[in-house]
Amino acid sequence: MDKLGDMDLFVRVVKNGGLAAAGREIGLSPASMSARVNALEERYGTRLLNRSTRHVSPTETGQQFYDASLCILADVDEMESQIFTGQESLNGSLRITASSDMGQLHIANVLSQFVEDHPNITPYLHLTDGLVNIIEEGFALAIRYGGLPDSSLVARKLASSHRVLCASPEYLKLKGAPQTLEALNEHDCLVMTRGTEPLTNWYFQTDDGLVARSIRGARSSNDGALIRRWALEGEGIALKSYLEVAADIKAGRLNIVLERYLPDFSKSGATKKQLTQSSGTDLHIIYPSRQYVPKRVKAFIEALQAYFKSLDL
């Protein structure tokens, strides 16, 4: 009984979305692949895959088996590398995903130092402001703002943050600093998009509680780093995480506006819907499981925690 071989085979099937494609990777026919998966399901007495003529996907139990298999196989690779090299060095791939601005400003720096300290690590940093399924796409961890709707993942708070409205001194000199929420209607607002949908509802704390105000976007982008760049270039007012603009604010490149209206979502009594739409404000490390976390992933999490703890914000 080759349990590790079966785990590797099952992982390949899920990643490729089919038996034939996975079989081509390891030189097995579709019939042989089907027989191996059938034997695996018979061994555990449960169905692990939903199968159609064109695609396969894991069942709920299959997803659990897939998650555990990924981690176990990573641990085996790490152990073998240590045996072959004869030392307790960190080895293997490290796949990370983060938002664009956060990744460029902070995560890339931590990763560069980590690889310098551990040269046998092969890093991959995927930057996107879109939603990523870290399990399906094989990421060790994600660095994201906000809470965690998927209970099968683990979220560990990395740093506190809050939202700020900010613009360059040049823009504010030209257009004037808004003093009321209504005055935002007269300003150029820089708006993030999710997919193709502009996020034009910005939340503010008023005497009447937390309210959403529809914003007219002068420019929009799905890239948070571009939104910050536009703000620095004087193109308008941006709603950003303080972690991403702290250095610009301290250096006087950006100024905060309407600060008294910006809510602390952790204390504002926001509804679940509002919290979901706001995406939260604190920065988290997100990863698949508390068990079977490879040493290289644990070490990188520790490096991230040390870095953000050292920041003078």
Indicate if the pLDDT at residue 85 is higher than 80. no
Instruction: With 0.85 as the threshold, say if the pTM is over it.
Output: no
The tokens for 235 are 């193109």
Residue 275's pLDDT band, with cuts at 50, 70 and 90, is very low
Give the CA angle between residues 304, 307, 312 to the nearest 5°.
145
Query: Which amino acid makes up residue 255?
Result: N
pLDDT tens for residues 40-49?
A: 999 989 999 9
Residue 268's pLDDT band, with cuts at 50, 70 and 90, is very low
Residue 84's pLDDT band, with cuts at 50, 70 and 90, is low
Are the C-beta atoms of residues 84 and 95 closer than 8 Å to each other?
A: no
Are the C-beta atoms of residues 64 and 266 closer than 8 Å to each other?
A: no
| Closest C-alpha among 253, 172, 271 to residue 212 | 271
Indicate if the pLDDT at residue 70 is higher than 80. no
Largest Cα span, the chain:
73
Strands 163-167 and 255-257: antiparallel
Indicate if the pLDDT at residue 233 is higher than 60. yes
Residue 216's pLDDT band, with cuts at 50, 70 and 90, is confident
Indicate if the pLDDT at residue 278 is higher than 60. no
Tell me the C-alpha to C-alpha distance, in Å, between residue 222 and each of 40, 62, 137, 173.
Answer: 42, 33, 20, 27
| Closest C-alpha among 138, 130, 127, 143 to residue 94 | 138
Indicate if the pLDDT at residue 266 is higher than 50. no
Indicate if the pLDDT at residue 271 is higher than 70. no
Indicate if the pLDDT at residue 211 is higher than 70. yes
Cα dihedral 150/212/206/281 (nearest 10): 30
Indicate if the pLDDT at residue 272 is higher than 50. no
pLDDT tens for residues 104-147?
A: 999 999 999 999 999 988 899 999 998 888 877 778 899 999 86
Share of the chain above pLDDT 90, in %: 46
How many residues make up the chain in this entry?
A: 313
Average pLDDT for 158-164: 91
